[in-house]
Structure 1
Amino acid sequence: MNPFKFISATDSNAAIAAHHQNSRAAFLAGGTNLMDLMKEHVALPEAVIDLGRIGLKEIKETAKVVSLGALASNTFTANHSLVRKYFPLLSKAILAGASAQIRNMATNGGNLLQRTRCSYFYDISMPCNKRKPGSGCAAMEGFNRMHAIFGWSDHCVAVYPSDMAIALSAMDARIKVSSDGSQREIEMKDFHLLPGTHPEKDNSLSSGELITSIELPKNSFGKHWAYVKVRDRNSYAFALVSVAVGLQINNNIIESAKIAMGGVAHKPWRALKAEAFLKGKSATTANFIKAAAMEMAAAKPLSHNQFKIEMSKKTLVSAMEVALKG
């Protein structure tokens, strides 16, 4: 690990000011991703700005939304009474990720900001456009079993690893951020980016912007939700494919469907084709199969992940059937 300056911020304004003074500084929340990258010499910040004393840990309710503090831990969030009451889908998704020890440390904001990555990103002896723009993508011709089937480019084929963010995508979350005394909200669909020609940029934050909360509109899913994660082993493993589903159903007619997928793209992948097909349709397995096939028709597999197409179809159908049963 390279030497760095450690700054303990007393509030969010001080943290933002410290970052503006050094654009090569990094915010430190739980550190579960940043510290790994620093140990492997992948991330080399000149300064680390500790956010541990600035608050932003509250989870609170208003008439229309539940606000999740950016520095609340994943464990605290998953088990909070408001989250369990209104968003059991989010609770299940969080508890499907990593391990209990990591969830105890990881924060909500940090979860959103973890790097989209693959094994080649960690290996500094290999070319990686995310780590060093213009160097190439080793995964394109390498072992790409875990990699993307949607939205990838010749510059990067890595997939975004968060479980929490897949549920947030299906719930139309908004990310509140601060910088220089101003605030703005970013829709979840616009927060993470596809690789394009700049895979080194994972999200739409500007330099020095700090996530302060995640705003969740109260939804109409009721009991019709599901989170299904398929992985190589039952714990501490990223998804090969995951699906978050929320259905609004009236007299067995799907009034609206919210579906997001993980393990398939550089960002949470919203299954918009499947959602559009299901609206107004009967909630039947036959329609679920049609919706899944329609969504997966545009998938572009790599040399080692063709299997993800059929796996995704089956996972989509399974998640919708679980949501239907409630």
Structure 2
Amino acid sequence: MLAQYLDINPEVKAALDAGRPVVALESTIISHGMPYPQNVETALKVEQIIRDNGAIPATIAILNGRLKVGMTHDEIEYLGKAGQAVIKTSRRDIPFIVAQKADGATTVASTMILADMAGIKVFATGGIGGVHRGAQETFDISADLQELANTEVAVVCAGAKSILDIGLTLEYLETQGVAVVGYQTEKVPAFYTRESDFNVDYRLDDPKQIADAMAAKWQMGLKGGVVVTNPIPEQHALDKAMIDQVIKNAVVEMEEKGISGKASTPFLLAKVAEKTEGCSLAANIALVFNNAKLASQIACEFYQ
């Protein structure tokens, strides 16, 4: 039944069939994360970094109602040009995008779902969604967290996006039994900055240690994913005090404008990029490159 909806790129399928490492990539970062043509250039560069580190990239999206696991350069170009006209797609949206034969850019949650359908176990992204600031009143909690509780994919990221409440995000993950691993760090990174005020569950200093923990988890039948946090490279990190103030001001503006739900993250990221005069976008690109490299190393160890 799944085959009538799912298109796995031939190169990706050949790698999976042969037990070779594959790394999944989301597509919201292409459509909603940055302007054209920078979005396409970044997406293709991320794919090349994965290849350079011994794995096969599988950028994921929904195009004309088809679940695409592994996109061609032309498909990435199309998605990049379409930009925010493409529907930002999480778990709840998938059947409607498919039934309407529409285009959808996958979030962390939906990328995990499609990667799992294809049998891909490692996924590189920028930052995961989480519990939004003020969630005590709004109950605004990303579907990414529930997906991490249920879907067997390791997500390599630079932590939760700085616009979120990192402490509450970690509490939610703990309740759901999702481990937060720090790669060569004991502090949870905060996306644009290398450290937050919170500790990871486990510090692991080698990709093989991470791959071994993933294998043990799933071989024992313990469902759910793993969050692998990878700090942004030091030379690209932003000043913590400055970024915290920018985000605080952006959250106030968002609330005044009544923006919520799936529109909140793109608004806040765009506002941060504006106020930092593009520095946050450069940092975002650098951390995605860094995560792609680590994800490839973990995938190579996992598929050995």
Richer in helix (by share): 2
Greater strand fraction, Structure 1 or Structure 2: 1
The structure having more radius of gyration, on CA atoms, is 1
TM-score (norm 2): 0.28
Higher relative contact order, chain-length normalized (CA < 8 Å, sep 6+)? 2
